Amino acid sequence: MKTYKLPAKWLGQPLKVAVLGCGGTGYYIGTNLFMLQRVLHSLYEGAGFESIDLYDAKDISEPNLARTGYLSYEIGINKAVILAHRLNSALGCETFNAYSENATAQQLLNKKYDLIITATDSLSSRTMVTDLSPRKHTMWLDTGVDKATASFVLGDLSSNKSRLPNSRDLFPNTKALQSHKETSCDMQTSLSRQAFGINQQVAGHAINLISQLLMDGEIGYHGGLIDLKDGCTSPIKVDEEVWQSFGYDASQ
């Protein structure tokens, strides 16, 4: 079985991570990173994350309560601020940093992140991340959610021909989902747009993939397709034939 090895730059040093979006999926991405941080600290001295920066320009609204762990008294407060405060309090240190704004390309470049995670329904944020190429050894973990299906892909932002293909390589024609007008819809409408549990599922699978890479040193798959209606998950294996089935030719 073909595998992808842990990037050499990631060996023996805490990682700098950016999470773009703290809504339905981003909330659980942050929570799972918090849990992974505790595990890594308990297993390996000096391991884990140096910093986890949370970006989101939006405040918590009522529809968010149906798909996250935000509470009703937090409505009107910025998502990133609340999530970072909550996770830092539980962790006992300031690993999470809140940015009540959408990340810019300049910020992502200046901070030299090891891993960028996109957890938004915005095509522009994904385009911004892919436009950062080539960024040697910067990995991109993209998550996407539809009504009852979701995808997650870990890829490389470098221009190396032998790189691990990223989400834009495998899904070049992905269209932006319609922007949700959360201020004008209720909780029932929010649930009708996305199946209950889909955000937790994709976030769990995505961070589990990172945990395998960090703790095992290699992975045999680098993404997956989730379908809650059928109850199945199909892995995207580290395999050129699998990539070709998505229309990506690793030889070019």
**Whole-model pTM?**
0.91
CB-based contacts of 229: which residues, under 8 Å, 6+ apart? 148, 149, 195
- C-alpha distances out from residue 165 to 68, 71, 140, 196, Å: 30, 38, 10, 30
Number of structural domains in the chain? 1
CATH of the domain at 229: 3.40.50.720
Asked whether residue 212 is assigned to any structural domain, the reply reads: yes
Domain that holds residue 197: 13-169+182-245
Average pLDDT score over residue span 237-244? 95
Question: In this predicted structure, what is the pLDDT of residue 125?
Answer: 84
Asked whether residue 188 is assigned to any structural domain, the reply reads: yes
User: Tokens standing for 197?
Assistant: 């549990």
Residues constituting the chain:
252
Average pLDDT score over residue span 149-155? 95
Question: In this predicted structure, what is the pLDDT of residue 178?
Answer: 37
